[in-house]
A = this chain, B = another copy of it.
Amino acid sequence: MTQPTRTAPVVRQAVVLSPMQVPKASDVLASELRERILRGEFPEGSALPPERELVTQTAMSRTTVREALRILEVQGLVRIKTGRAGGAFVTRPGQESVASSVNLLIRGGHLRMSALLETREGIEPVCARLAAVHRDDEDLERLEQANDAISVDTGSLADFLQANVDWHIAVAVASHNELLTGFMLALSRAIYAATDNQRFIDADVRRTAVKAHKTITQAIRDRDPEAAVRRMNRHVHGYAEAVKAVEDRVEIEVPDSPPAPRQARRRAPARSTAARTTRGSGGA
Contact = CB atoms under 8 A, between A and B. Distances in A.
A115 B179 contact: yes
B109 A92 contact: yes
A216 interface: no
20 contacts: A34-B277, A35-B272, A37-B108, A67-B70, A74-B74, A75-B100, A76-B101, A77-B104, A95-B105, A102-B179, A105-B179, A106-B179, A111-B179, A115-B179, A116-B179, A118-B177, A122-B129, A123-B123, A179-B183, A179-B187
Contact of A67 (B30, B67, B263): B67
A260 interface: yes
A21 interface: yes
A259 interface: yes
Contact of A74 (B23, B75, B126, B272): B75
Contact of A97 (B37, B105, B278): B105
B119 A180 contact: yes
A201 to B, nearest CB: 24
Interface string A208-228: 000000000000000000000
Given A98-B102, A122-B130, 11 more contacts: A31-B275, A31-B277, A38-B263, A39-B264, A67-B67, A92-B109, A98-B101, A100-B101, A118-B177, A122-B127, A122-B129
A27 interface: yes
Indicate the member of A38, A39, A74, A274 with the most B CB atoms within 10 Å. Answer: A38
A104 B118 contact: no
Interface string A57-87: 0000001001100110011110000000000
B108 A263 contact: no
Interface string A25-64: 0110011001101111000000000000000000000010
A234 interface: no
A99 to B, nearest CB: 9
Contacts of A34: 274, 277
Contacts of A277: 31, 34, 75
